[in-house]
Amino acid sequence: MTRGNTEHGARTAPLGVFDSGLGGLTVVRALRARLPAESIVYLGDTARVPYGSRSAATVRRYAVGCAKLLARRGVKAIVVACNTVSAVALETLRAELDLPVSGVILPGARAAVAAARGRKVCVLATVGTVASGAYTRAVAALSSRTEVMGIPTPLLVGLAEEGWTEGEVPRLVVRRYLEPLVRDRVADEARGDAAASARVGCVVLGCTHFPLFRTFIEEEAARALGEPVPVVDSATAAAEDVADFLAARELAAPGTAQGKLELCVTDVPVAFERVARSFLGEAVGTVEQVDL
């Protein structure tokens, strides 16, 4: 977050959190674990999911619409719970809104650099996030010796929105997407290249839909690389970032009572209600349908 609305009274206002669909609920879950007193208004733009295959200009336009709806609801800050939006639209949102705006890529990159310890960072993300080069830039700004390889894994978004997060289908999709890791390892071994910097040191869940596949990704990455690697969740790292920001700006919610959670979507909420519980890890109350 770069700018702060430090108006008196803003502490009790909710945080506004949005994503293209259900994925951002993994960030809500992390926020509620780290900052239980914060109230949250969550918006899933389910009428227009996925964002990851759209142009940067379209994603920016959608993101501004989502953020403005949350601003009209009186939120004290916007948490962009979407890597694709964080990759291409943060500056636009900061320019368009008179509110602090935080994203998931910088915190995710920080956690990745720490976990990789000089080895390569492998980012699993949408086509848009990989094409933007946002993780590569964020990691390069933190560590000039850490390489980044991005693997676009768009089918996982659809599987998550459908609630297909268990069984052989997602496992095989993950295995197929991780084939470049096997190819690189075999090529390195054939060349006798044992340099630590050439090896993958961590895998980043670079899309907020992906924590639901964490176990498959851990297991399949270990299989592909021939050794276990840490898996970094940008949702947890982002919640930590929001906690720091709120404390620094004296915007944290007072008291210890559990904050409220309001859920909104842009399409009929039936599918959302069905799948949201597994993302959120708690019961889902009423879901409101809104129009941007």
264 is catalytic: no
In the complex, least distance from residue 290 CB atom to ligand DGL, rounded to whole angstroms? 18
Please pick, among 82, 122, 202, 264, the residue that the annotation labels catalytic. Answer: 82
Instruction: Considering the complex, state which of residue 125 and residue 261 has its C-beta at the smaller distance from ligand DGL.
Output: 125
Structure tokens at 12: 């009790």
Other residues' Cβ atoms within 10 Å of the Cβ of residue 149: 15
CA angle 274, 276, 282 (to 5 degrees): 115
Among 240, 23, 228, smallest CA distance to 115 is for 228
Please give the Cα distance from 9 to 28 (Å, whole number).
Answer: 23
In the complex, least distance from residue 154 CB atom to ligand DGL, rounded to whole angstroms? 7
> How many helical (H) and strand (E) elements, i.e. helices and strands, does the chain have?
13, 10
Site for ligand DGL, rule CB under 6 A: 19-21, 23, 49-52, 82-84, 126, 129, 157, 207-209
Instruction: Considering the complex, state which of residue 49 and residue 265 has its C-beta at the smaller distance from ligand DGL.
Output: 49
Is residue 172 within 8 Å of 118, Cβ to Cβ? no
Instruction: Considering the complex, state which of residue 51 and residue 135 has its C-beta at the smaller distance from ligand DGL.
Output: 51
Alpha helices in 134-213 (DSSP H): 134-142, 155-162, 168-177, 179-191
231, 236, 238, 242 alpha-carbon torsion, rounded to 10°: -160
In the complex, least distance from residue 109 CB atom to ligand DGL, rounded to whole angstroms? 14
Instruction: Considering the complex, state which of residue 35 and residue 238 has its C-beta at the smaller distance from ligand DGL.
Output: 238
For 259-287, give the DSSP string.
PPEEEEESS-SHHHHHHHHHHHSS----E
Which position's Cβ is nearest ligand DGL? 52
Q: How far is CA 162 from CA 27, 49, 165, 269, 278, in A?
A: 19, 12, 8, 13, 12
Instruction: Considering the complex, state which of residue 71 and residue 159 has its C-beta at the smaller distance from ligand DGL.
Output: 159
DSSP structural state of residue 228: -
In the complex, least distance from residue 279 CB atom to ligand DGL, rounded to whole angstroms? 10
In the complex, least distance from residue 33 CB atom to ligand DGL, rounded to whole angstroms? 19
The residues assigned a catalytic role are 82, 207
